[in-house]
Amino acid sequence: MQYVFVTPGWFFGYSILLEAFFAIITMLVAIYAFKIYRLSEERTSKLFGFSFLFISFAYIVQFVLNFLIWNNLDDDVSTIINLKQVYLLNLLGSYAFAFFFIIGLVILTYMTLKVKDTRVLALLLSVCIIAVYFNPFKVFMFFVLSSVLLLFTVIHYFINYLNNKKINTLIVLVAMIFLLFGTLHFMFAVNHEIYYVLAHILEFIAYMLILINLILILKHGQKKR
């Protein structure tokens, strides 16, 4: 028997729906970030857009493969499944999700470093991807690295907020804190179903806050013109 899902059996269907919502919301975040970039030509907006574009790709892949898994299951979804096809789909989905999500977080962290040397970005990407895929505890390492990258992003926005006291910086700071706590909750989700559900709720709130913030920034920028 193989332990395939971290997802609680009763939550699996809801999880697929949330992945679809996350894919849409993060794609909208990327679109609005690119719109702000076209308006302001700020490099940070462009990098922010690319970051969430890759995060959206991660959720799209996860949604599609988990939907295929759902179609291969009986009505009674169990946490422990012994279907080779389902296991392979889940494994592929997990690897693809980790790959795109890490790229998104690395670009986000690279943005906060305020350096223009793409070699730094390539170095960060190489170290993170190698650390995950050549580690025997891939899932745990993925969440550890994600937490570290998000922690640096939280620190960046916290310092920014102390310097400018702007409401939009505070909104993004709160969103990043929620994403950080959501990632930390996922680290404990294997043995505690409630952590998995809480992590999804925190992610949803975080992505919505970021999207609302970008919409407000774009409207404010358009009024100035």
Element holding 80 (H helix, E strand): strand 80-81
Q: What is the CATH number of the domain that holds 30?
A: 1.20.1070
Q: How far apart are CA 110 and CA 128, in angstroms?
A: 13
pLDDT tens digits, one per residue of 58-85: 999 988 887 777 666 554 444 444 456 6
Percent of all residues in the chain with a pLDDT value above 90, rounded to a whole number: 48
> How does DSSP classify residue 189?
T
Contact residues for 76 (Cβ-Cβ < 8 A; gap 6+): none
Query: Which pLDDT belongs to residue 198?
Result: 80
Give the structural domain span for 76: 2-224
- What does the pLDDT average to over 142-164? 93
| DSSP H helical ranges for 41-83 | 43-71
Domain count of the fold of the chain: 1
Q: How far apart are CA 50 and CA 171, in angstroms?
A: 20
The residue type at 216: L
